[in-house]
Structures are given as structure tokens and as C-alpha cells.
Amino acid sequence: MEQSMVGLVQNETIKLLRRRRFLVVVLILAILIPIFTYAQYRSVVTAQERMGTTDWRPLLTQQIVDMQNRLASSRLPEEWRDFIKVRIAQQQYYLDHDINPMAPGGPTFARGFMDQAISMFLPMIIVVLAVDLVSSEFSEGTVKLLLTRPVRRWKVLTSKYITLLLFTSLTVLTTLILAYLLSGVVFGYSGWDLPILTGFEVAGGELETSGAFMLPQWQFLLMQYGLGWFVCVVVATVTLMVSVLVRSAAAGMGIMMAALISGTILTQMASSWESSKYLFVVNLQLTDYLNGTLPPIKGMTLPFSLTVLSVWAIAALIIAYVTFIRRDVTS
């Protein structure tokens, strides 16, 4: 009699927990987030020492002056002028409304952490979680038992994928909670209602600012971590495919790490290779669209990147299922 899907998912959850990969992920977050918190704290202190005051208003005023000076430069690329003008307007809004954006609380740190982590750090953590989901069955010698049980193979792989999605979601949620709680010890826990400027659009390689609007930070965080979750799901799905195709967890880890690192490099030099915008690793920095940062290649928009990532995820799932169902385990 075939085992139910719930039972299969429970079995896969137990397997994953026994390998203690999720515990490793939580430990990595618990160690690195305080380090990043201290780094940001030192950055704030250094800025205050340079200005000779702890009052945020002169510091913010100086930032506005610096950006205005950049606008006066003839060497500034035209596509950056609108962006800097919007940043000036944003900072002036904070100044006029007596809002201190330079003394971040837990929510502000969590927002900044996702901005930095979405394209490399979080995907690498997901790779650690997912890379041996199938390949471990080969290394542990359980693959024959797994695939010769009276359970349809597509159900076995589906249970693994559902388990992976559950732990991927839990990882993103844990990231938000730890970033808020640990950074709040230093910066405090307020700032949920801090207004954040968003709603930028890019048309013809130029930033459109006419649709920009303010959101309370808690709403912005929901949007931002939602995009971060989507990126992690795509990376998890591609990693699952690699785990099916490659029988060694070490080889799978190498493949995914190489892909993520090459993606970071390509993003820096992608303007000279326009076709690279169709690679999933070039489209991971989704939160840049919320912040108004210009994309690495003209023509890239949030819908475009979401579409590219979705196509990659669907293709990876198809390859994973076809390979897993047809796999010969007698050799």
C-alpha cells in the first residue's frame, strides 16, 4: 500500500533534521547577523565622529549637500541623475518631517540585511540546505531502497520538494526574526512605521520617479522579504535539480557555488553582455527594483526578472522529475 504524501513529507523532514543542515543554517545566521550589526554600528559611530556630533540632522544635511555636489559633476552618467534627485528628495522628506533614518532600529537593519543578502548570502544558505537532498541517498546507499519501494517516484520527489519549500520558507522567516531581534539589542526595536520611498520604474534605461510613493516600513519589509522568499525558492529548485543530476553532494555544492559567484561577477560586468540578463543568477537582486537602483542591463524590470526566474524554476523542476522518474538504480 502506498504511503500518503503527508507521511512521505514527515519522513523527509525527519531525514533533513537528522542531517542537522537546518541547525547549521540557524547557527550561521546567529553568528553572522551580530557581526553585521556591529559593522553597521561602527559605520554610524564613524560618521558621527567625522561630523563631530551625534545629532542626525547635520549628518543628513551633509549627505544632501554631498549628493547635490555629485549632481554638479559633468562626469556623472545621465541615468544616475534622476536617481540622485530622488534620493535628495527622500532625504529632504526625512529632514522636513523630523524622521531620523540614520539611527536604524531592528526593522531598518532587517531591511538593509535583506538588500545585501538576497543575491549571494541567502542563496548560499539555501544551497547548503538543499544540495544533498537527493544525492545523499546515493552517498548513504539508500537510493535503491528509496526507488524500489511501493511508492511512485514522482511522489517521492514531490515529498522532498515540499519539505525543501517548507524549510526554505522557515529559513527566510528565521532570517527576519533573528535580524530584528539581534540588531534590536544595539539599535532598538522601533521603526516599523518609518516611511520608505518606493514605486520606482525603469524605462529605456532611465529611472522613472513620477510614480514613487511612501510606504510604512512594515509594508516594505513584507514586500522585500516576499521577493527574498521567491529568490530562495528558485535557488532551492535549481539546487534540487542539481542534486538529482549529480550523485555527489560535494560536486553539487561546487556547481551551485560556482553559479552564484559567477552571477555576482556577471552582474558587475553584465552591461557588456546583454544576453546575460536571461541567466537566473543575474536576476537575483530583486529588492533593487524596490529601492530604485538601476538594473545592470537595460530592459530589465521587476516583471522581467520574475519571469526569467520562474522559467528557470519550472525548467529545473521538469528536468529533475524526468531524470528522477527514469533513473536506473540497478547500476
**DSSP per-residue codes, 10-67:** HHHHHHHHHTTHHHHHHHHHHHHHHHHHHHHHHHHHHHHHHHT---HHHHHHHHHHHH
pLDDT (tens digit, 9 = 90+) per residue, 205-224? Answer: 555 666 777 888 899 999 99
* Contact yes or no for 28/20 (Cβ under 8 A): no
All cell numbers assigned to 29: 545566521
Residue 213, helix vs strand vs coil: strand
Q: What is the rounded average pLDDT of the residues 231-249?
A: 91
Tell me which of 56-60, 108-112, 216-220, 270-274 is least confident: 270-274
Residues 239/167, Cβ–Cβ less than 8 Å: no
| Confidence band, pLDDT 50/70/90 cuts, at residue 1 | very low
Q: Are the CB atoms for 12 and 165 separated by under 8 Å?
A: no
What Cα–Cα distance (Å) separates residue 4 from each residue in 148, 153, 209?
A: 16, 13, 52
Q: With cut-offs at 50, 70 and 90, classify the pLDDT of residue 191.
A: confident
With 90 as the cut, is the pLDDT of residue 225 above it?
A: yes
Mean local confidence (pLDDT), 154-183: 93
What is the pLDDT averaged over residues 64-78?
80
Cell of 138: 546515493
Longest pairwise C-alpha distance within the chain: 75
pLDDT at residue 238 is higher than 90: yes
| pLDDT score of 165 | 94
List the single range of 47-61, 64-78, 109-123, 262-276 with lowest mean pLDDT.
Answer: 262-276
Average pLDDT (300-309) is 92
Burial class (CB in 10 A: 0-12, 13-18, 19+), 201: middle
Q: Is the pLDDT of residue 149 over 70?
A: no
47, pLDDT greater than 80: no
pLDDT-based confidence at residue 119 (cuts at 50, 70, 90)? confident
Mean pLDDT of 14-22: 84
Query: According to the model, what pLDDT value does residue 11 have?
Result: 83
Signed CA dihedral, 201, 207, 213, 218: sign only: positive
Query: Cell 544558505 maps to which residue?
Result: 125
Give the predicted TM-score (pTM) of the model.
0.85
d(CA 79, CA 203): 11
* Average pLDDT of the residues in 247-255: 85
